[in-house]
Homo-oligomer: A and B are copies of this chain.
């Protein structure tokens, strides 16, 4: 078996999750199962609706941290391939924020790897988020859920 292909990207521009899925699938014909997770900026309505979201990264730590997470994910499950793409910068409703794809011979490995990677991306990656609503920009504090998610592993 060739070593698992790992592809980790921190992007400043919008990307197409379905195009990424097509390319990832084409690259892994040996995998029986592929799990993907797409997180996107929710389209909301009403006075509290988020009009834009900004993720700030820190070049010295954010991408290196994502690469370390990918390596930890690969080490923990038997994967044929792993893709992690994360946006930074300003995003608008409907824009993709994060896309994870895990290819594995066994379905369970693919599900667990994508789930694990997402829990850690959401709670431990070096991103600082602010949201713009009708009342202006506001920094977002961590959610208690993020910590609980980590305790699952």
CA distance A109 to B114 in the complex (A): 14
Contact with B along A21-52 (1 / 0, CB 8 A): 11001000111111111111011100000000
A135 within 8 A of B: no
Q: Is the CB of B39 within 8 A of A37?
A: no
Q: Is the CB of A34 within 8 A of B31?
A: no
CA distance A29 to B49 in the complex (A): 13
| A interface size (C-beta, 8 A) | 34
Q: Is the CB of B25 within 8 A of A40?
A: yes
CA distance A38 to B36 in the complex (A): 9
Nearest to A29 among chain B residues (CB) is B43
Q: Is the CB of B111 within 8 A of A29?
A: no
CA distance A39 to B35 in the complex (A): 9
Nearest to A23 among chain B residues (CB) is B18
CA distance A34 to B17 in the complex (A): 11
Apart from A32-B39, A37-B107, list 10 A-B contacts with CB within 8 A. Answer: A16-B22, A18-B18, A29-B93, A30-B43, A30-B44, A33-B37, A34-B36, A36-B36, A36-B38, A111-B111
